[in-house]
Chain A
Amino acid sequence: MEQNMLRKKRSLKYTYIDCAIIIGLFVLLAVLENIMMPTHIFFTVVKKGAIYALLAVSMNLLNGFTGLFSLGQAGFMLIGAYTYAIFTIPLEMRESVYMYYDGGIINFTLPVVVAVILAGIMAAAFAFLIGWPVLRLKSDYLAIATLGFAEIIRAIFQWDKLGVITNGANLLRRYPKFTSALVPCAVAALCIAIILLLINSSYGRAFKAIRDDEIAAEAMGINLFRHKQMSFMTSSFFAGIGGALLAMFQTTVQANAFKSAMTYEILLIVVIGGIGSVSGSVLASFLYIAASEWWLRFLDSPMVLDNGFQVPLLRVGFRKVVFSVVIMIIVLFYSRGLMGDKELRTENVVNGFRKSKKKLREWISDRRKKNREVAE
């Protein structure tokens, strides 16, 4: 018992250290914003990375922690993005945005914060409706059904008859955006913190129980449908908020962009990070975005060396070829992802370090013993 209390205390200490590190990163970002060019690609990566981190964690909540293989993420992001855009376009801009629909029928604007939360709520409400039929399905069937619903949502938002609200297949633009990279980072961090709290609560344990064994979970008194619905709605809520952030990042919204490819991108991040690891998803999302937007960009532009030698293969589109190969290697050889189902925490790092130190010491003493034996 006492040992347990001690462990709890130490664990709490490490949690404070984790929080301090995250705050430190935010301060670092604020400093960098003041000393670097604001148009530097680094900030694009940070902004998009933070948004994708939130989307990946919300997908992980459903796929990794509740064991529901859903592919509807893009649909819920679309709902979030549109909700945000529709309700925040300033009144005087509406005439120009909705030029084919006489300025649309919505003639009020909401504050940005309210619109972002509403984006989440709308996505969760859709998840509630879709959940009734869809959550009775399992594994692959669930994936196909959610994928189908996401496509239906996309088609409906492009429907001409709804143009007075959604602007049909045209762009939505001129709504408020963020300039500082701190905004998406702070919102994403807050949302991820809430998801973490949920995962570590009684309900999170119930979700994990459903993932591990549905029949046993039900026999333990966990109402499967209700808990799946909860997980689905929570995940969609944060996907909606992520969609709103993405709308701000992209500065324009068009339903056509929210194809299933977007869901796969996020699924890929979840898999690379490790299914069932929040920190893995966050890490993977920054790495993924950095690789695709920044580090591998050079592959897309033809390069001619000083002596006139043109480097073969480098041309538009080659980046995607390399990227696919990298992903295949990851999936083949690191199928558990970067983190598996572990979390990146100072506590785990320190413990792991201690363990490996102990192992190293044992190994050295073993070697010495063997050497001595050989010498004798």
Chain B
Amino acid sequence: MSDTILRMDNVTMQFGGVVAVNDLSLQVNRGEIVALIGPNGAGKTTAFNCITGVYEPTNGMISFNGQPMLRNHPAGKMKKFYAGAHADKFTKAYVPQDEEALAAIAAAREAGDELTAANLQAAYDDAAEQRKEQALLLDPHAFSDKVIAPTPDKITKLGIARTFQNIRLFKSQTVFDNVLIAKHMRAKQNIFTATFRLSYKEEKRMREETEALLEEQNLIHLRNELATSLPYGLQRRLEIARALATDPQLLLLDEPAAGMNPQETLELTEFIGQIRKKYNLSIFMIEHHMDLVMEISDRIYVLDFGRLIASGTPDVVQNDQRVIDAYLGVSDDVED
């Protein structure tokens, strides 16, 4: 438990009638590189946006470092239209159940063995308290209607940094300023001390740290260039550097290799491995370049139409029939 850095429980994101992410549960362990793959429109970026607080998930819980970070349940109008699973798991009405035990009872009933079934039922009822305790252990807010929905900046402050699928640098600003902005969040200052330069020591520290980071990322010679004047590959690198400047524990990369040629992809693969080691990061990424994914991921989750269809090590996922079907499509003959 303690080495799980990110944990998603039954996360569902529904837009109107469209369920973009459906009952997604996964976890990222400390120090791991985990990839989220799936065909276009599978809901990967939506899942990322749920983690970073851009969207408020319709249902489910996301915990960071064992603490619930996001928690929601369908409410208001959505209560009526909710099409996902576990509608009451994160409300007061939640009754924890043990699927296995229930199946055993049902099987006994089926077999006509009323005595065993009754015994099992009694044992099951006795264990209700225990199940409650267990549920509370996993989720301290269980059996309550508590909604936790921080804004993205608070999530970044907790230690989750991200990059974007379509690069989002601050266009009118230099490489140096782009990275420097990420330091603003943790600086000990307020608008008065900053304006009247009373916190100049803090400013100096921010600048020095930024300089050091750019030096490490081999971007220092570009410090005074405009961010948008950089070639595409370097803009990606700069975006990652900017994310690193927020001192994250978990880095979310949304298609870091999009639009890169094989050579650049190879360099990126190496780069991701390096930064993980250097900054003690856990990395969770969305990627379409299979060679990159298969090479550096410790584990892979596969999404299709919002649902998790497979997970495991690269070897397992590669040979999973459902994954192959999802990517290549199923021929009509097989379906018949």
A interface residue numbers (CB < 8 A to B): 4, 194, 197-198, 201-203, 205-206, 208-209, 211-213, 215-225, 230, 234, 276, 341
Contacts and interface: CB of A to CB of B under 8 A. Distances in A.
Contacts of A4: 223
Given A213-B170, A222-B185, A201 B156 contact: no
Interface residues of B, number: 39
Best-surrounded residue of B54, B184, B243, B246 (most CB of chain A within 10 A):
B184
Q: Is the interface of A mostly helix, strand, loop or mixed?
A: helix
A212 B187 contact: no
Contact of B194 (A203, A213, A217): A203
A202 B189 contact: yes
Given A202-B203, A212-B171, A220 B181 contact: yes
A221 B173 contact: no
A218 B153 contact: yes
A211 B171 CA distance: 10
Nearest to A215: B168
Q: Which 5 A-B pairs have the closest CB atoms?
A: A221-B185, A216-B168, A221-B156, A212-B170, A201-B194
B227 to A, nearest CB: 9
18 contacts: A4-B223, A201-B203, A203-B191, A205-B173, A205-B184, A211-B172, A212-B172, A213-B170, A213-B171, A216-B168, A216-B170, A218-B152, A219-B153, A221-B182, A222-B153, A223-B154, A224-B151, A230-B191
B45 interface: no
Interface string B28-55: 0000000000000000000000001010
A213 B153 contact: no
Nearest to B178: A209
Contacts, number: 100
Contact of A222 (B177, B181, B194): B181
Contact of B181 (A194, A209, A215, A341): A209
Given A205-B180, A213-B170, A220-B182, 5 more contacts: A215-B168, A219-B153, A222-B184, A223-B153, A341-B172
B246 A198 contact: no
A221 B195 contact: no
Given A201-B194, A212-B171, A219 B189 contact: no
A221 B157 contact: yes
B20 interface: no
Best-surrounded residue of A201, A215, A223, A276 (most CB of chain B within 10 A):
A201
Contact of B187 (A202, A219, A234): A202
A216 B164 contact: yes
A288 B180 CA distance: 37
A208 B182 contact: no
A341 B168 CA distance: 20
Given A219-B156, A220-B156, A222-B184, A208 B173 contact: yes
A213 B180 CA distance: 15
B242 interface: yes
Nearest to A196: B195
Contacts of B189: 202
Interface string B191-203: 1001111000011
Best-surrounded residue of B54, B172, B202 (most CB of chain A within 10 A):
B172
A5 to B, nearest CB: 12
B169 interface: yes
A73 B222 CA distance: 40
A217 B154 CA distance: 12
A220 B157 CA distance: 8
Contacts of B151: 218, 223-225
